[in-house]
Structure 1
Amino acid sequence: MPEAGFVHTTSRMSRLAANLLCLFTALIWGGAFIAQSTVMSKLGPWSFVGLRFLLGALAMLPFVMREGGLLLGPVRADAAEPSAAPNAGRRRGLMLTFAVTGVFLTAQIFQQFGLLTSSVTNVSFLTTLYVVMVPFVMILLFRQWPDWIVWPAVLLAVIGTWLLTGGLSHVGIGDLLGLICAVFWAFHVALMGPAVNATGRPLFVVFWQCLVSGVVATAVGLVAEQPTLAAVLQAAPELAYAGIVSGALAFSFQALGQSHTRAADAAVIFSAEAPFASLFAALILGERLDGGGWLGCGIIFAAVLAVQLVPLLHSTPSGRMAGTVEG
Structure 2
Amino acid sequence: MADLPHAFKGRGAASNPEGRFETIRHHTEDDGWQHAMLDEEQLRPSTEVTEERARSVITHNDSPDIHFTQAMNPYRGCEHGCIYCFARPSHSYLNLSPGLDFETKLRAKSNLAEVLRADLAKPGYRANPINIGSNTDPYQPIEKRWRLTRAALEVLAECHHPCTIVTKNAMVERDLDILVPMARQHLVQVLISVNSLDNHLAAKLEPRASAPHRRIKAIKTLAEAGVPVGVLVAPIIPALNDRDMEAVMEQAAEAGASCAGYTVLRLPYELKALFREWLELHAPQRAAHVMSLVQQMNSGRDYDSNFATRMRGQGVFAELLRRRFEIACRRHNFGRARTLQLDTSRFIPPRKPSPQGELF
TM-score when normalising by structure 2: 0.26
Of Structure 1 and Structure 2, which has the larger fraction of its residues in strand? 2
Higher RCO, Cα 8 Å, sep 6+: 1
Of Structure 1 and Structure 2, which has the larger fraction of its residues in helix? 1
TM-score when normalising by structure 1: 0.28
